[in-house]
Structure 1
Amino acid sequence: MKTLLKNGLIADGSGKPLYKADVLLSGNVIEKIAENVVAEDAEIVDCTGLVVAPGFIDAHSHNDFFYDYPDAEKFYRPFLRQGITTQITGNCGFSPFGIAADSKFKDKVGGGLFHAKNPGSFKEFVSSAEGNLFVNVVPLVGHGTTRISVSGYDPTPLSPSQIEEEMKLVDEAMENGAFGGSFGFMYEPGMYSKTDELLAFASRIQKYDGILTIHPRAESKVALGYPLISKPHIEIALDEIIDIMEKTKVRTEYSHLIFVGKSSWPSVEPMLKKLHDYNEKGFRIAYDCYAFTYGASVITIVLPPWYLALSKEDRKKPFNMFKLKVMTYLTKVLLGIDFCDFTVAYVSDEHKQYEGKTVSECAREEGLSDFDMYIKLVDLSNGQGRLYLDKYYNDQIINRLMTDDLSVFMTDAWVEEAGTQNGAAFQCFPYFLVRAKQNDIPLESVVRKMTGATAERFKIPQRGFLKEGYYADVTVFDYDNVKVDPKTPDFTPKGIKHVFVNGEAVVKDEVYSAKTAGKVILKK
């Protein structure tokens, strides 16, 4: 099967200026890029006035957990419809592989955020996923999963022999083609790991020339576990990442660089400066970001551990409620957020009336204070609800990161089974295109951050660029007519005209077709 993309404007992923040419796809590879290509046996797709780019690469995903679900296709459809053909998975310490066959803790894989139906070794994951993927997957092994394999959620420091047991799981993944590993310092059990274990994991990833992605311990000015009187906690968390990098020389990716709450925004420039300074020293550290100002969170995000540990009866005692009210107020002030920044994503199947509204809007409708409404929502969901928390960025910060040399783009989003969806799962990459046009950011630069720059950073072979002999992952879009609707999270973006995964047309004239054309990409 051959497809000839005629008369398009080529954004090849290198950052070079766009140029006009034809692109001939033959099977799963790009056969020819030139002007006036003739291929009488090819299906011709007229790309006049359209941009032809490499398939977009999502630098931070968790979609390795859904490929073996009975309804797996729905978890990948919105990513393909926004032009994404490849996703870096296994982030934040979570991967569905990296666990021993005899582990007693397989049910804990996913850290409560995700559920792995068949957790096992890396080789088992590759065998199971092949032929069942809708996108290409670039796998990382999650430190949280390897630690779960050894000791579950036990906070006790690992012994030297337990660390060595953990490293054997890392070896199995890296020797069979994983691209690196990940830490999740905000999640169990990664939050319990001591320095010796973290350095052992990072060193083992470095041994294989892998990349280490790190979800930091703090993403705001104030976070639990740090002294109140200190420099911003988000900057202390960056120091921890840099210390691991310096001691192990591992290639490092700061996952989803966000600045939660207005009080954190003054840390943007100092942190960017530090990242650039270390690159000038010869270290390899960079970051990824997304196009929305909000992100997903649990409904208990501002509740302290002492309150969550209380019984339902003790929570209602006047002193405890007063103490909580004071602490919640102080937390909001210190972070620079308020209940009007909390959008309800999900409470329960019986309480859908709250979905898509802020806590403040719900409070006004029910004649309650914002605080009382928030506690009501927590109780109705048994503490299991979800929120979208605003003020991760403002538009100026997003533009700043989009034009920074060290950024690449990602979604860090997944399709939810119920409730309000995360807009990043449906519109993130087209939203970057819209922002680029609004702010006169060169298109070739933005496409590079979606494609070639990510491929180079993660060392993904033969993808991320339009080059002859490379795999035929291609996204064609109408730059002048790309449309998103940030106020409607599950809006299908307009202007993403054609998408090819390994030469298979999965979007044609903006019409989606479900095809398991994806591959597990292995590090050579």
Structure 2
Amino acid sequence: MKFNESLFDNEQTRKEFLQTTSALLISLSALSLLHCSEEAPQKPSKNLNWITTKPEKRPVMNVAYSPTRILLKNGIIIDGSGKPPFTGDVMINGSTIEIITPKQINFKGTTIDCTDKIIAPGFIDAHSHLDWILPLDGHPELKNPFMEQGITTTVTGNCGYGVAGFMPKSKYLAFIKNIGKGFFSGDSSTQKDKFVQKLAVSLTSMQQYLSYCRQHGIPMNMANLAGHGTTRMSLRGYESKPLDKDEMKTMLYHLEQAMDEGAYGVSFGLQYEPGIFATNDEIAEIAKLVKKKDKIVTCHMKAYSALSGTYPLKPFGTPHNIIAINEMIDIAKQTDIRLQLSHLIFVGTKTWKTCPQALSIIDKAIDSGLDVQFDTYAYHCGTSVINVFFPSSFLAQTPQIYEDKVALLKLRAQLELIVALLGFGYNDIQIINANNPELAKFNGK
């Protein structure tokens, strides 16, 4: 596959470069992360042989009428304990689950027939960015798709993009606010929302953010993380140089404060600016703090493909995604943290063969006594931004590097090599939101 031949013409200006690459990549949806199938989904089977207690074998129990009671009757109950499912009844009294039983409940009050339907505890979404969305007024189109799937608890603040835990009155808070706009999908109707107005202005601490959520009300439970990337950004923007001792001390202070005020841990986004500039020593120091607080670390790792812009290109070396997994597990060994590897995916057809090796590395870490887990998603597409394609050395020099013709030619060569060797390219990309009025015509293409 060839890139646009005009992409790096000598006459090209920085604006033209940004428009071209943004039109192709920014706010993209990758269509070939694991494997995309266009086959129509099969209709689910109604074979109920997997249910241990069949309806015809159920004894009866009587429950007295109460106007506060609601009976869920004849459902397939999966209680979350790991036990086999069974057909049964669930009695709810006000806000309390009063009875869960394989027996038939005889009840004269409000009853909901759940025949052939599953009754289960609310699902936990282990990885979302709803901390930027849930406090908004209205916008059911952004919230309901989660609740309609049965999600009642969500883990937020992932990929280093925390919504609070910043240095107050930082001159870089506008950068963080702009990140928030990306999560709002560039929807102009949100810009007058109270939460958006307060975001990264008067809501900078985790206490302020969580207090706002409690007072305003949000539609589901939330376990929020402090984001290394946005906290670091509040100190020094997108500066790529390593933190000095004072900056490190300040960042650790704000992350510790965020955890003391309710954050469940710290997330890293090591493929995004400024997390991509963090050294392993910086990551380890934060991990030690998280361990001290008995919290968790989640990590969007440095690479999810066999070749990436994050590490030096060595076509026949160790796959980059394997290097990234090993680096984080090494930090877990050093610090004994509880580690969650975020959205374990394998980008590009040439990366798929690394899946057994990746799982083996994680299994060995668990067998050695480390508390390492990973999450993934049940579909074969993913969403990210243009920066994940660019090497950290390139991102460290933006925006000035856009005027460097030699650097642009080098970038083109690197991207061409990745496309050729990875099995992933423009044909696997769809633009979701160019986040620019001039480029809106490319959305959805």
TM-score (norm 1): 0.62
Report SS of the residue matched to 1:109: helix
Alignment of 1:225-244 (within 5 A): 225-229=310-314, 230-244=317-331
Tell me, yes or no, if the aligned pair for 1:73 and 1:134 is still in contact at 8 Å: no
* 1:121-152 deviation line (CA, Å, top 9, x unaligned): 11111110114212211111111122223323
- CA deviation after TM superposition for structure 1 residue 223, in Å: 1.3
- What pairs up with 1:119-198 in 2 under 5 angstroms? 119=200, 120-130=204-214, 131-198=216-283
Instruction: Give how far 1:352 is off.
Output: 5.8
Name the SS of the counterpart of 1:60 in structure 2: coil
Alpha-carbon distance, 1:214 to partner: 0.4
The letter for the 2-side match of 1:274 is: I
2:199 corresponds to which of 90, 102, 118: 118
Within-5 A mapping of 1:9-48: 9-34=76-101, 35-38=103-106, 40=108, 43-48=110-115
Judging changes above 3 Å, is the alpha-carbon distance between structure 1 residues 184 and 269 closer, same or farther for their aligned structure 2 residues? Answer: same
The one-letter code of the counterpart of 2:199 is N
Q: CA deviation at 1:248?
A: 0.7
Does the 8 Å contact 1:111/1:187 carry over to 2?
Answer: no
1:109 counterpart residue number:
176
**For residues 300 and 169 of structure 1, do their structure 2 counterparts lie closer, same or farther at Cα, with a shift above 3 Å needed?**
closer
CA gap 1:221/1:83 in 2 versus in 1, 3 angstroms:
same
The one-letter code of the counterpart of 1:138 is A
- C-alpha distance in structure 1 between counterparts of 2:284 and 2:388, whole Å: 29
Q: Tell me if the contact between 1:55 and 1:85 (Cα under 8 Å) persists in the aligned partners.
A: yes
Q: Which amino acid aligns with 2:288?
A: S
Q: Which amino acid aligns with 2:352?
A: W
* Aligned residue among 240, 260, 285 for 2:347: 260
> CA contact under 8 A between 1:95 and 1:110: conserved in structure 2?
no
**One-letter code of the match for 2:135?**
D
Q: CA deviation at 1:92?
A: 0.6
In the other structure, the counterpart of 2:305 is 220
Residue identity opposite 2:210 in structure 1: V
Q: Deviations over 1:277-309 (max 9, x none)?
A: 011100011111112211113356546638975
CA contact (8 A) 1:183 1:213 kept: yes
1:251 aligns with 2:251: no
Residues 22 and 265 (structure 1), Cα distance of their counterparts in 2 relative to 1, 3 Å cut: same
Residues 222 and 233, structure 1, Cα contact 8 Å, conserved in 2: yes
Partner secondary structure for residue 182 of structure 1: strand
Could you list the per-position Cα deviations for residues 163-189 of structure 1 after superposition, in whole angstroms to 9, with x for gaps in the alignment? 222222222222233221111111122
State the shift of 1:224 in Å.
Answer: 1.7
Q: Displacement of 1:80 after TM fit? A: 1.1
Residue 285 (str. 1) matches residue 372 (str. 2): yes
- What is the DSSP-based 3-state SS (H/G/I as helix, E as strand, rest coil) of the residue aligned with 1:243? helix
Q: Distance in 2 between matches of 1:353 and 1:84?
A: 34
Supply the distance in 2 between the matched residues of 1:321 and 1:240 (Cα, whole angstroms): 29
Name the structure 2 match of 1:356: 444
Q: How does 1:421-440 map to 2 (within 5 A)?
A: none
Q: Does 1:208 align with 2:289?
A: no
Distance 1:289 1:101 in 2: 34
Give a deviation string over 1:418-474, Cα, whole Å, max 9, x none: xxxxxxxxxxxxxxxxxxxxxxxxxxxxxxxxxxxxxxxxxxxxxxxxxxxxxxxxx
In the other structure, the counterpart of 2:383 is 296
Structure-2 change in CA distance of 1:133 and 1:271 (3 Å): same
The answer to whether the aligner puts 1:90 opposite 2:176 as a matched pair is no
Residues of 2 paired with 1:184 and 1:321: CA distance? 25
Match of 1:494 in 2: none
Counterparts of 1:105 and 1:322, CA distance in 2? 31
- Checking the alignment, whether the CA contact within 8 Å between 2:78 and 2:118 is kept in structure 1 is yes
1:6 aligned onto 2:73? yes
Distance 1:159 1:47 in 2: 60
Residue 330, structure 1, aligned to residue 398, structure 2:
no
Shift of 1:39: 5.3
**Larger radius of gyration, structure 1 or 2?**
2
Contact 1:6 1:45 in 2 (8 A): yes
**Cα displacement string for residues 246-280 of structure 1 (whole angstroms, at most 9, x for unaligned residues):** 11100000000011101111110011001000111
Give the aligned partner of residue 199 of structure 1. 284
Question: Which moved further from structure 2: 104-113 or 23-32?
Answer: 104-113
Alignment of 1:478-497 (within 5 A): none
Equivalent residues of 1:110, 1:145 under 8 A apart: no
Fraction of identical pairs, as percent: 36
Partner Cα separation in structure 2 for residue 259 and residue 323 of structure 1: 25
- Which structure 1 segments of 5+ residues have no match? 358-524
1:81 Cα offset (Å): 1.5
Task: Give the number of aligned pairs.
Answer: 353
Contact 1:96 1:110 in 2 (8 A): no
Comparing 172-181 and 74-83, the one that deviates more:
172-181
Distance in 2 (alpha carbons) for counterparts of 1:163 and 1:303? 26
1:450-469 alignment, distance < 5 Å: none
Residue 226 (structure 1) shift: 1.8
Change over 3 Å in CA distance of 1:167–1:3 after alignment to 2: farther
> Any gaps of 5 or more consecutive residues in structure 2?
1-67, 185-195
RMSD: 2.8
CA contact (8 A) 1:220 1:259 kept: yes
The aligned counterpart of 1:69 is: 136
> Whole-Å Cα distance in 2 between the matches of residues 310 and 329 of structure 1?
22
CA distance in 2, matches of 1:196, 1:300: 23
Which residues in structure 2 correspond to 1:46-65 (within 5 Å)? 46-65=113-132
Q: Aligned AA for 1:27?
A: G
Q: Distance in 2 between matches of 1:300 and 1:167?
A: 26
The amino acid across from 2:144 in the alignment is R
